[in-house]
Amino acid sequence: MDKKESLLKIWADICTCDKCKKIIPHINNRVFGEGNVSSPIVIVGEAPGDEEDQAAKPFVGTAGKILNEILDRARIKRHRIMIINALKCRPTKGLDNKDNRTPNWGEIQNCQPFLRRQLEILQPKVIVPMGKVAVGALFNKNPSSFALKDFEGMAQKGTMAWCVPTYHPAYVAHRGNDPKLIEKIAKHITKAKEMTRAE
């Protein structure tokens, strides 16, 4: 069975998952990921936002535009890497308030097996987790227990591959599209790219 067939089996399981009772009733789509399944780099985002939930694709909204700029600076073509999320469904504040919210630790843990299975099949050389939720999911740490600034840009040995944690593009948007922050994230991704060539 090739990678695409194996990933389709995971997708089928994701589509029938109903563990997150506060999330599932309010979603339009589950977001599996997209890109090159043979890429040595996999970017792991946090969770879908409104536009991702509508399109069933990762990073298509404002954060997606910022990610594209970051990848351009790192001289990486988006279609040549794989992009997935730690959570496959969009957490909202409820039926009457559909604003995005940060997933809780239980919700992150519910999706960890899917993330792990995806990465086991993709077998990247380097993973770039973007944001605390993604870092927490990969290292099995509650995001409330650490500060991302203590890990950003530092190569970390994970159970399946080296990881280079960095900030999420949505954080850049909240900081007014700070060009220095965009450049910092681009350097982190460039570092990940260089690590794939070091072997």
Cβ proximity of 143 and 130 under 8 Å: no
What percent of the chain is predicted at pLDDT more than 90?
89
Q: Tens of pLDDT along 95-110? A: 677 788 999 999 999 9
Spans of all domains in the chain: 3-196
Cβ proximity of 33 and 132 under 8 Å: no
Cα–Cα distances (Å) from 93 to 35, 45, 104, 112, 171, in that order, read 30, 19, 12, 21, 19
Asked if pLDDT for residue 33 goes beyond 80, the answer is yes
Asked if pLDDT for residue 93 goes beyond 60, the answer is yes
pLDDT at 153: 97
Q: Tens of pLDDT along 127-162? A: 999 999 999 999 999 999 999 999 999 999 988 899
pLDDT at 154: 96
Q: What angle do CA 130, 34, 185 make, to 5 degrees?
A: 25
Cβ proximity of 114 and 13 under 8 Å: yes
Asked if pLDDT for residue 199 goes beyond 60, the answer is no
Average pLDDT over the chain reads 95
Asked if pLDDT for residue 119 goes beyond 70, the answer is yes
Q: Tens of pLDDT along 46-69? A: 999 999 999 999 999 899 999 999
* Distance of alpha carbon 12 from alpha carbon 34, whole angstroms: 15
Greater pLDDT, 4 or 105: 105
End-to-end CA distance of the chain: 27
* Distance of alpha carbon 41 from alpha carbon 57, whole angstroms: 18
* Distance of alpha carbon 21 from alpha carbon 112, whole angstroms: 16
CATH class of 3-196: alpha beta
